[in-house]
């Protein structure tokens, strides 16, 4: 850990790793050296399940600009949720 | 060290071994040594934040090629086992490896090297990135080393708000206890450590009359030895390796490949 910039959050959902789908329990978001991306520092997002070991991980390494676009895209999509749900036809019909 | 010529015999043994680390915990390490009777000086390599990876195995063999007993302990051992990048992510998400276990593991690795019949009883420590910080820290917290090399170690100067349970004290605060000569290699464009924080460390070293040698490379940032990455700067890397081997030869009394 070089920069020490790490934020964590508990999450629920599923992620697909090298061994297939697994339940997610936590996301670690850091700004530090990437393992693969060809940039000096990256915004790293690791979706993990610690109970299943270190390999239970879905990872992305993004440039800061890409990370902001992702964050904005997530928020924009979520802002449409209420509208989309209220406009959708009833499934009971 | 005798310069290599093509008529020389050369051989090396490189393998994973187990050894007692901090608190006697058994950990694994990558160990490489030249073949031949020695005596050889030793170097302990502290791997960088991206993990105990292929690059550090290459570095370990490079030291053996240059006539050193070289060992790179897995300082992430206690966090479990997976690919190096998965382990790095796990350690990062867990708040980093504790300084106390790093000091213990590196000190134990030095003792291992000195115990070998091939050893000349001189051992240096080398680290890059977080390993550079830890090389400085270990050289301050123990008396096991005869020379230390800090390559672009960030967070040696660590403001109080950046201290954590794993890293409770800024290494610069231990400068008065530095127990061996120090070589520092840094890039002018690095954001951590910045040239300003390198100057701050240098002032502290001067204050306590420590033996040190710092080199600041223009046009280089963090990690300029790492040829698989965009950080690689060939001129700085070639010169840095040369300065490092000259430094270790001076303080570790290298006699070459067993000659």
Model ipTM? 0.81
B221:A36 CB<8 A: no
Of B80, B96, B223, which is closest to A1 when you measure between CB atoms? B96
pLDDT of B143? 98
Could you tell me the pLDDT band of residue B70, with boundaries at 50, 70 and 90? Answer: very high
Q: How many CB atoms lie within 10 A of CB B188?
A: 14
Distance from CA of B63 to the nearest CA of A (A): 24
Contacts A33 to B, Cβ<8 Å: 48-50, 129, 222-223
pLDDT digits (tens, 9 = 90+) for B185-211: 999 999 999 999 999 999 999 999 999
Say which DSSP state A71 is in. Answer: H
Domain that holds residue A26: 5-63
The answer, yes or no, to whether residue B170 has pLDDT greater than 90, is: yes
Q: Which residues of B are catalytic?
A: 129, 190, 222
Contacts A19 to B, Cβ<8 Å: none
* Residue A77 within any structural domain of the chain: no
Domains held by chain A: number: 1
Per-10-residue mean pLDDT, chain A, length 93: 87 94 97 92 96 95 98 96 66 43
Distance from CA of B17 to the nearest CA of A (A): 22
Q: Is B127 on the interface with A (CB under 8 A)?
A: no
Contacts of A60 (CB under 8 A, 6+ apart): A44, A45
pLDDT digits (tens, 9 = 90+) for B107-152: 999 999 999 999 999 999 999 999 999 999 999 999 999 999 999 9
Q: Which residue has the tokens 């997002």?
A: A45
pLDDT of B9? 86
A8:B87 CB<8 A: no
In this prediction, residues B227-250 reach a mean pLDDT of: 96
Q: What is the pTM of this model?
A: 0.91
* Residue A79 within any structural domain of the chain: no
Give the CATH number of domain B12-252: 3.40.50.1820
Q: Is B100 on the interface with A (CB under 8 A)?
A: no
B229:A3 CB<8 A: no
Contacts B98 to A, Cβ<8 Å: none
pLDDT digits (tens, 9 = 90+) for B37-57: 899 999 999 999 999 999 999
Distance from CA of A82 to the nearest CA of B (A): 33
B96:A38 CB<8 A: no
* Residue A59 within any structural domain of the chain: yes
Of B85, B93, B229, which is closest to A48 when you measure between CB atoms? B93
Q: Is B129 on the interface with A (CB under 8 A)?
A: yes
Distance CA B80, CA B25 (A): 13
Q: Report the mean per-residue pLDDT for chain B.
A: 95
Q: Is B205 on the interface with A (CB under 8 A)?
A: no
Of B48, B84, B221, which is closest to A40 when you measure between CB atoms? B221
Q: Which of B83, B85, B92 is the best residue to mutate to test the A interface, defined by the most A CB atoms within 10 Å of its own CB? A: B92
The answer, yes or no, to whether residue B1 has pLDDT greater than 80, is: no
pLDDT of A18? 86
B191:A8 CB<8 A: no
């Amino acid at each position: 850990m070089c920069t020490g910039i790490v934020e964590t959050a508990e999450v629920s959902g599923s992620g697909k790793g090298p061994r297939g789908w697994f339940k997610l329990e936590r996301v670690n978001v850091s700004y530090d050296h990437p393992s693969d991306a060809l940039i000096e520092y990256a915004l790293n997002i690791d979706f993990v399940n610690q109970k299943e070991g270190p390999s239970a991980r879905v990872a992305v390494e993004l440039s800061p600009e890409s990370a902001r676009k992702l964050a904005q895209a997530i928020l924009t999509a979520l802002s449409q949720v209420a509208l989309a749900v209220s406009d959708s036809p009833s499934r009971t019909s | 060290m005798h310069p290599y010529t093509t008529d020389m015999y050369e051989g090396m043994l490189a393998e994973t071994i187990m050894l007692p680390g901090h608190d006697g915990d058994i950990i694994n390490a990558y160990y490489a040594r030249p073949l031949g009777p020695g005596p050889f000086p030793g170097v302990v390599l502290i791997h960088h934040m991206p993990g105990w990876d292929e690059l550090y195995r290459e570095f370990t063999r490079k030291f053996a090629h240059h006539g050193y007993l070289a060992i790179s302990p897995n300082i992430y051992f206690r966090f479990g086992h997976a690919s190096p990048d998965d382990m790095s992510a796990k350690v990062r998400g867990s708040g980093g490896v504790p300084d106390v276990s790093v000091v213990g593991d590196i000190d134990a690795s030095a003792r291992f090297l000195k115990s070998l019949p091939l050893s000349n009883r001189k051992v240096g420590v080398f680290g890059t990135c977080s390993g550079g910080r830890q090389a400085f820290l270990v050289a301050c917290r123990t008396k096991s080393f005869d020379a230390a090399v800090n390559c672009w170690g960030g967070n040696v100067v660590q403001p109080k708000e950046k201290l954590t349970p794993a890293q409770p004290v800024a290494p610069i605060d231990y400068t008065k206890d530095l127990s061996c000569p120090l070589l520092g290699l840094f890039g002018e464009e690095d954001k951590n450590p910045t040239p300003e924080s390198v100057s701050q460390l240098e002032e502290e070293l001067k204050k306590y009359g420590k033996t040190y040698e710092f080199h600041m490379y223009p046009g280089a940032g963090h990690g300029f030895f790492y040829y698989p990455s965009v950080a690689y700067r060939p001129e700085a890397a070639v010169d840095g390796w040369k300065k490092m081997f000259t430094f270790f030869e001076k303080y570790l009394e290298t006699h070459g490949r067993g000659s």
